[in-house]
Each structure stands twice: as C-alpha cells, then as structure tokens.
Structure 1
Amino acid sequence: MWMTLLFPNSSAHSPDTLLGMNLIINDSSIGLSQPALIKKGIKMLNLENCRPVKTPLTPAVQLHTATDEDHQEFLKLNRNYRSYTGMLNYLACRTRPDLAAPVSILSKFNQKPGMSHWREVVHCWKYLKGTSELGLILQPKQDKIMDRISWYTDTTWAEDQESQISRSGSLAFWESCPILWNSKKQKNITMSSTESELNALSDGEQENQWLTLLIEELWKTRLGPTLFHIDNKGLLEKLKNFGSNSKTKHLDIKAKNLREKFKNNEIAVELVPSSKMMANSLTKAAPLSSIKKLQKECLSILSPTNKEGC
C-alpha cells in the first residue's frame, strides 16, 4: 500500500523485510521479527531437536569469572563464544527486549568464557527454540494512548557478587508501543537500594531528553511531561522532599537535577507495585513470571502464516 502511494505506476509489493527483520504490516499494527537469525543460531548449535526452556537464563543464576582451568575446558569445545552472544545482541537490540539482560550478563565474559557461561549461552538459545515466532509488536491501544512517553526504570542492588555493582533496566513506551529498552551495569557501587534506583531513574531521564526531541521533531508534535514508573518509595520521597546530609551528599547533583524537573512538571514520577514493574526482567536472570509480563506487553506471535498475531 505504501509503495503504491509513493509510486503509483509501480508494481512493487508492500515491503516485508527491513534490515534483516521480517516486517508484517496491517491496518492496526506493525510486527518485527527475526526467525531466520534464530534458526541459524539453533542450527549452528545443533539444537534443532532440543527441548525448549521457558526463561532466557536459569533464574537467579550467578556467573563468576572463569578460572584458567575452566577457560581451557571451554576452549576444547572449539566454539566461538562471541559469535553466539553477538547474534543474541543483534536480536536483543532490534526485536527481542526479553533478551536484553541475558545479553548484557553473558557478554561480560566475552574475553574469557568458561563452561558455566557457555551453558547459559546454550540455555538462551534453547529458550529461543521455543519462542522463535515471537516478535516485537507495535500496536497502539486506544484506551492507553497518551500524549507523553511512559518509562519503567528498575534495578537490582549489588547484584554482582564479585563487583557489588548493580544492574539497571529501563523500558520506554509511546502510545503503548515499546520503543526503547536497555539493560546495563551501573557505573559505581551504591550504598543503598534507593541510590541504585536513583541511578536508574537518572539514566532514564537523560535518555528521555534525546527520545523526546526525536519524537517531537519527527511527528511535529509537543509531548507532555514524561511519566516515569518506579517501585522504590524512598526514591519518590527524596524527589518530593530532598534534604542534603552527610549520608546523601554524593547524591546531590543527580537528585537535585531530577527534583528540579519534577517540580517544574517536566517529568512525572509514579510509584507502582513491584509486581507491575515492567523493567524487572531487564535487570537480572529473571523468573518466568517477569519474563511473561514483558512478553505480554512487548511481544506477539508473528509469522508469515499467522498474521493475526500482529
């Protein structure tokens, strides 16, 4: 339809691929998926007949730096660890937000992988074996359309047992469609869960400045104050009533920047129950309940033979 409008005399069919992704377009939604890449990775690992697993990583798994002996044991497999994490990263960045945390966690060991890391890489591909038809769904919901971006930011606290550094996860929606997500280690060790949540919110707010400008420029519109969802009551209290003391001096710059935007109605912050925190599965090796929550909001079954899933 788009090609016909742009080139009336063209016999070209509607686009069905975009930068290596399958593209399914109908009147109410757009679906993006990468089944070919998933099939390629599964074939390279000889997992065509494997039993699928339900989560990308073993829930609550803790991975540690490989010993020299463990690394040598992995090298005997004659596998290129980075090839498989690289393919996972390509999926996570484009159509599979449910892979964001696994990719971030597994890629940490690209330089010196061990057998435990490799087992989790294989585990992730077994998960993809059972979810290969899932893809990103962009489908505005009439009852949820708002004139502003909605963010979910969450974090673990001292999740990495070796470095004690927390991991942040964030997920942005516009008109109820997932448009941006990430999972990454924080830059510093935090002294409390509130400080860890503050880092995640601050990073999300900075990312949001660019995202807001991009949407306003492309759509020629003016967005309202961005709504941030958090699940830490202490952080919300700090934004409303921030007072500096010896224990919070190091938080002053980030907290005061957020509080100023909060007071000036440039952003809104809303407390949500942890059970409804959409970004939870972007912070760790999440349980099935968190994975399903993310799948429900961001993904759908997409295949050329089942366009109704779009």
Structure 2
Amino acid sequence: MKYYKLHKALYGLKQAPRAWNKRVDGFLIDIGFKRCVSEHGVYVRSDTNDGVIILCLYVDDLLITGSHDKSISRFKSELMREFEMTDLGVMNYFLGIEFHKSKVGLLMHQSRYALDILKKCDMEHCNASITPCEARVQLSKSDEEEDVDPTLYRSLIGSLRYLCNTRPDLTFSVSIASRFMERPKVSHLAAVKRILRYVKGTLGCGILFPASDTGSKCNLLVYTDSNWCGDKDDRKSTAGYIFMFGSTPISWCSKKEPVVALSSCEAEYIAVSLGACQTMWLMNLLKELGCGNDVATTLFVDNVSAINLMKNQIAHGRSKHIEMRFNYLRELVGDGKLRLSYCRSEDQVADLLTKGVTNDVFKRLKKCLSMVDLEQLK
C-alpha cells in the first residue's frame, strides 16, 4: 500500500476541503475510477490488464493499493501529470495511525499518539494497569461528589476516542466515561486515569493483519452482545458489536441502547439490530471493492431466546412493543442476507465491548481480537 500527498499550492487553491475534493473527484472519475456509494472517500478502478486499484482520499492525503505494482506506478504517473505530488513510499504513518510490517503480518497501532496523550496529562511515568477498567464497573451521575475541570475531561475523552480507532480493548471503558462529559465528577476522572494507566502499559499494542490471510478468501463474521440495564442512572442497556474479516477485527462499537429493554432477550435483540445495520453497510462496501459475495453474513449471539425472537415473524406479548426500526433485522434474516448462529458466552468476543471483565477473561478476549504488542514483532 502506497501513501501519496497532493500539493494544493500548485493551483493556488485556497478553497474549503470540499471544493478541493470535488476537483480530485472529477479527475478520478475521468480516468475510469468509480466512487463507492457506501463510502464516498473510496474509489475503485477495475481493469482486465491492470487489475484492481483502490484509492482512499482524505482532503490532500491519499492511500493507494492494488493487485499489481506496475499498474500502481502507471496510475501514479497519471496523477503526477495533473497534480504536484510527494511520494511518501510504503505506508507507515497516516492520520496518527502507524503501520509496522514484519514477516508475521502488518501491525496497525498508535503508540506515538498514545504517548502524546500521556505527556499531555503528565502521566508518561505512571504505574501501568492490567485492564482499562474494573470488573463490573458502574459509574453514575452522583451529585455528592466534587466536580472536576470539564475542559480537561473532554480533551482526554476526545483523545482516547480517537485512540479507539486501533484499540477495541479500550472501546467499552472510553464509551462509559464519555457519558459524563457534561458534568464530570472525581470518580469519572479516576476512571479515565485508569484507562490512561492501562495505555501506559500497552503503548505498542495494536491490531495485527496476519500474513497468513494474504490471498485467502476471508468471510465477514459479526459478534453482538449486550449488558442488560448496564447504566445505573437510566437503566438502559449497553450494546456492542465487532466485525471480523478473516481473523482480524475491522469495525467495532460500544454504545448505550436508545430505549430501555424490558428483558435480556429484548436487549440482545436491539443489539443485533444495531449490528445488522452496520453489517449491510460493510457488505455493500466489500462488494464495491470486489471482495464481497452473495453468502449470508453470520451473526453470533449468545442468547437463544433472542435468536428465536428474530426468526419468529409472529408478534406476541414480549415482542409487539419493540419499536419498528429494530424489526428491520427480521426482514434481513427472512431474505437470507443474515444468518444467526448461537455461540457460548465464553466464545462471545463482544463481551469486551459491553462490560468490565476480569483480568483472565480480558486477556483471552484480547488475544481473540488479533491484538499484539509491537515489541513482539521486533
């Protein structure tokens, strides 16, 4: 994968980024690229001779990958005739995300960015923590505690949220702490510092794209889970989902469900419905990139009652009150686009996104997500 940078100064362009992107977009369309409908910053060109070239555009930064090095070189020449460019070579740093290539595979991490966060709050020499939060952690909007500086708190949360782009192990803890940005308390700041102490001990941790997956046919798998009535203040549940492409996570989320669930079955049902919407987006994107297929995507759920409720089209007492938007899932299952499968709670990797777990469980689930430390690859 190559990384190139366009120079807007060649044309004296000082317009907003949208105007600049519009000009590059027009050029790419003219030379045979198609803009992905699912993701407007991604372009694909497929040719019988040149193979496939995929381009990701973010303002004036580009990532280019393809099936043949020669076709990428020819495409680079086309760009250079139109724009002044800086060739930054094989990708190793992009938008704060670092890439380390080894014989084992490609490691995506943010160790430099994580260290900057620690320096910003004078915690680069703090004691490390084994996990980002305590097991069964519960934070609340207590009025009995003292307030803390909301500006500092929001700054730390914003930095940690960007760090979650390569750290699914932080997602749940940061999601919980994000709920108190309006009026943070001492206990909330203590929870954030616990996350930072964990980051201190795992600076080089990231997601490994194994070399063993190169050239193999990878399927999209989804794990969804929920923590029923996990919020202590409004009793709403916490939903989490994680998408695995082959053996590597590519998308994950931990968020509070929008409504109060009346049972664990309903909480799981809503969590799978939220994951189903993301599933359809990823399936459409993979098809546009030429990586998709017509095989139904498998969703792993650890609640048998929820699976039966999703497959049963008959409304009854425990399901007829569920909002219509969540029943979109039943349509996808009925059309054969999604396939539901039961998995044991011990195998549910999405547990990491819905609740605080013990040290042993945390280490096991983290290993399941292909997360390794940079030092292990050197």
TM-score of the pair, normalised by structure 1: 0.87
Cα distance, 1:239 vs structure 2: 2.9
Alignment counterpart, residue 261 of structure 2, candidates 184, 190, 200: 190
Change (3 A) 1:142 1:35: closer
The CA deviation string for residues 187-215 of structure 1, in whole angstroms up to 9 with x for no partner, is 00010000000000011111111111011
Report matched runs for 1:217-296 at 5 Å.
Answer: 217-219=288-290, 221-251=292-322, 253=324, 257-296=328-367
Partner in structure 2 of residue 88 of structure 1: 160
The CA deviation string for residues 115-151 of structure 1, in whole angstroms up to 9 with x for no partner, is 00011111100001111110121226559x6553100
Equivalent-residue separation in structure 2 for 1:150 and 1:227 (angstroms): 5
Q: Which runs of 5+ in 2 are unaligned?
A: 4-68, 78-85
Report matched runs for 1:193-204 at 5 Å.
Answer: 193-204=264-275
Say if 2:46 is the partner of 1:46. no
Structure index of larger Rg: 2
Partner in structure 1 of residue 371 of structure 2: 299
Alignment counterpart, residue 156 of structure 1, candidates 227, 230, 244: 227
Cα distance, 1:177 vs structure 2: 1.7
Alignment RMSD (CA, Å) = 2.7
The CA deviation string for residues 267-306 of structure 1, in whole angstroms up to 9 with x for no partner, is 1111011011000010123322342233212311125xx6
The CA deviation string for residues 214-255 of structure 1, in whole angstroms up to 9 with x for no partner, is 111012542411000000011122233443223321237467
Say if 2:134 is the partner of 1:58. yes
Equivalent-residue separation in structure 2 for 1:106 and 1:2 (angstroms): 37
Q: Which structure features the higher share of strand residues? A: 2
The CA deviation string for residues 21-69 of structure 1, in whole angstroms up to 9 with x for no partner, is 1112346632111111211222233323322111111221211114275
Change (3 A) 1:270 1:110: same
Identity %: 28
What is the one-letter code of the residue matched to 2:374?
A: L
What is the one-letter code of the residue matched to 1:167?
A: T
Equivalent-residue separation in structure 1 for 2:296 and 2:355 (angstroms): 29
Count of matched residue pairs: 300
Conserved in 2, the CA contact under 8 Å of 1:148 and 1:223? Answer: no
Say if 2:144 is the partner of 1:35. no
Q: Secondary structure of 2:300's match?
A: strand
Q: Which moved more, 1:265-274 or 1:37-46?
A: 37-46
Alignment counterpart, residue 92 of structure 2, candidates 3, 10, 16: 16
Change (3 A) 1:254 1:44: closer
Q: Which runs of 5+ in 1 are unaligned?
A: none
Q: Secondary structure of 1:219's match?
A: coil
Conserved in 2, the CA contact under 8 Å of 1:212 and 1:223? Answer: no
Q: Write out the 4+ residue segments of structure 1 that deviate beyond 6 Å after TM superposition.
A: 8-11
Equivalent-residue separation in structure 2 for 1:163 and 1:223 (angstroms): 41
Partner in structure 2 of residue 110 of structure 1: 181
Conserved in 2, the CA contact under 8 Å of 1:134 and 1:301? Answer: yes
Conserved in 1, the CA contact under 8 Å of 2:270 and 2:326? Answer: no
Change (3 A) 1:240 1:225: same
Change (3 A) 1:140 1:277: farther
Q: Secondary structure of 1:238's match?
A: helix
TM-score of the pair, normalised by structure 2: 0.72
Change (3 A) 1:80 1:290: same
Q: Which has the higher contact order (CA 8 A, sep 6+)?
A: 1
Partner in structure 2 of residue 123 of structure 1: 194
Conserved in 1, the CA contact under 8 Å of 2:273 and 2:327? Answer: no
Conserved in 1, the CA contact under 8 Å of 2:207 and 2:371? Answer: yes
Equivalent-residue separation in structure 1 for 2:89 and 2:2 (angstroms): 9
